[in-house]
Structure 1
Amino acid sequence: MTNETDELSYSVVVNHEEQYSIWPAERPVPAGWRAEGTTGSREECLDHVERVWVDMRPASLRRHLDGEPDDVA
């Protein structure tokens, strides 16, 4: 028996903090996220995220800890 989610196509999405997630490919990308360019099965997308998202800290925290100035609007 197959799970319905196994048959869906997914896209890898990333937000402004360089945090990754997967999203059903047939749905519009949610606000605050952009398509990263990778699509495939759920497992393929999760494997890709595991390979590329090596530092789980938000980008703003990484910059702060590296001594970079905060972005001021």
Structure 2
Amino acid sequence: MSNPFEDENGRYLVLANAEGQHSLWPVSVEVPGGWDVVHGEDGRQGCLAFVNATWTDMRPRGLPVP
């Protein structure tokens, strides 16, 4: 069985947590608690494009600004 998190032809969601961190998530795997769907079912490349366009600051929201 292949890893559903690395399937180039798989269907994914984009999740975000309270800190604004994003994750590609296979539609076949239950969304974990503390994460919300911010981009609905799409191909891997579509989800990556969404992440690249919207998650521009990789720092967690709770991190103090220097």
Instruction: Give the TM-score category using the shorter length.
Output: 0.7 to 0.9
1:69 aligned partner: none
More helix by share: 1
2:47 paired with 1:52: no
What is the CA–CA distance in structure 1 between the aligned matches of 2:48 and 2:40, rounded to whole Å? 10
Structure 1, 31-40 or 44-53: larger mean CA deviation? 31-40
In structure 1, list runs of 5 or more residues that go unmatched: 67-73
Q: For residue 12 of structure 2, what is the amino acid of its counterpart?
A: Y
CA RMSD between the two structures: 1.8
How many residue pairs match? The answer is: 61
Which of 5, 25, 34 is the matching residue for 1:32?
34
In structure 2, list runs of 5 or more residues that go unmatched: none
More strand by share: 2
Identity %: 36
Structure 1's consecutive aligned runs of 4 or more residues displaced over 2 angstroms after TM superposition are none
State the structure with more CA Rg.
1
Tell which has more relative contact order, 1 or 2 (C-alpha 8 A, sep 6+): 2
Q: For residue 13 of structure 2, what is the amino acid of its counterpart?
A: S
Deviation, 1:33, is 1.1
1:65 aligned partner: 65
